[in-house]
Amino acid sequence: MTSLNDLVAPLLAFAAALPAITLAFLLWYRTRDRSFELLATGLGLQAVLAFILSIGTFLASARLVRNPQLQFVLWNTTFILSFGSHLVLRRFAAIVIPGPGVARNFPRLFTLASGLVYTAFLSAAFAVEPPLINFSGRFVYALSALWYFAGYLGPARRLWAAHDKLPSWIGRLFSRAPLAVGIPVLVLGVYEALRVVGVLGMGWPFLGPMAVVAFFILVTIELFRPLAKEGDSAPAPASQQHAGGFGGSTEAEDRARRIAGRCAADPLTKRELEVLALLLEGWRNQDIAERLGLSQSTVKNHVYNLYQKTGVANRVELSSLGE
């Protein structure tokens, strides 16, 4: 049995995302750190996706949408949104994880796997008779949710492996998420199991999206913390936490400082020092542009200025200066 009470949790999930999205955009405005911009975009896609998935499940269960074409459009929208959110997550991970070895190109393997999954759904629904699946029940949304969460495994694994090198606000999210989100997920899982097997009865409202509410609340708290402090205490951009002496000292940063010390007559700017540290780590121009939120032409100008100020002709000579 499905009732309008099942729409309460999806609406709460969508509403809980709004403060987190707003704070992420505010932090991006203050720091110009693209990781905050991607975070806001990803949170927005997740909020809309959670809402549409819940609404789709509700409409399918209540048999309010009987037109097969409309049912397919609803499911197709959720699939496209989930694919987009995964692309944003992968770009976010590429920016915040330090080091040039992180994959920064378009995720070809994930895109191929997503295309195969999408083709499998369409084949099972339209290429065989009778259809193996249809878009009018919970089963197809359950399969879609399984694919959606499986897509998080790769970026989550890379972020966890580098959690001690991530910006502090992301590190806090990782340390607190198991408790703040894991417990609600377990409780809601038990609740849904009791509801489905009939102990509570299907008349009880569907509360699955409340797990998403817990996640959005945690993100909101962690993003609000720096804005609530007095003064210019917003988190430093991810680029500044891993380059040019804004984070913990690394070999590349020490070498960059030594090189900068030789340019007393024409001192390096703060941005040039950031670019220099990344160059010494072996970063390409396009990777530096992505990390610092600059255009490639701007990065090329900084590299040219570095060559002029240090009196070198290429990266090999530049690298040898700090040895």
- Model confidence band, residue 246 (pLDDT cutoffs 50, 70, 90): very low
Question: Does 13 have pLDDT greater than 60?
Answer: yes
Using an 8 Å Cβ cutoff, are 209 and 9 in contact?
yes
pLDDT value at position 137?
Answer: 64
Higher per-residue confidence, 310 vs 241:
310
Q: What percent of the chain has pLDDT over 70?
A: 77
- Model confidence band, residue 39 (pLDDT cutoffs 50, 70, 90): confident
Question: Does 233 have pLDDT greater than 50?
Answer: no
> What's the CA gap between 311 and 284, in Å, rounded?
20
What the block records as the tokens of 39 is 């975070």
The mean per-residue pLDDT over the stretch 267-273 comes to 85
pLDDT value at position 59?
Answer: 60
* Average model confidence (pLDDT) across the chain: 76
Task: Give pLDDT tens digits for 45-57.
Answer: 888 877 776 666 6
Question: Does 235 have pLDDT greater than 50?
Answer: no
Output phi, psi for 312, to 5 deg: -110, 170
pLDDT value at position 173?
Answer: 77
Question: Does 275 have pLDDT greater than 80?
Answer: yes
pLDDT value at position 247?
Answer: 41
Region class of 232: left (phi > 0), else alpha (psi between -120 and 50), else beta: beta
Count H helices, E strands: the chain? 14, 0
Region class of 282: left (phi > 0), else alpha (psi between -120 and 50), else beta: left
- Model confidence band, residue 161 (pLDDT cutoffs 50, 70, 90): confident
The mean per-residue pLDDT over the stretch 176-192 comes to 79
What the block records as the tokens of 258 is 């030594």
In b/e form, how buried is each residue of 177-204, taking b as 16+ CB within 10 angstroms? eeebbeebbeebeebeeebeeeeeeeeb
Question: Does 64 have pLDDT greater than 70?
Answer: no
What the block records as the tokens of 317 is 């000579």
The mean per-residue pLDDT over the stretch 199-228 comes to 75
Task: Give pLDDT tens digits for 108-155.
Answer: 888 898 899 999 988 988 888 888 887 766 677 778 878 888 888 888
3-class SS of residue 130: coil
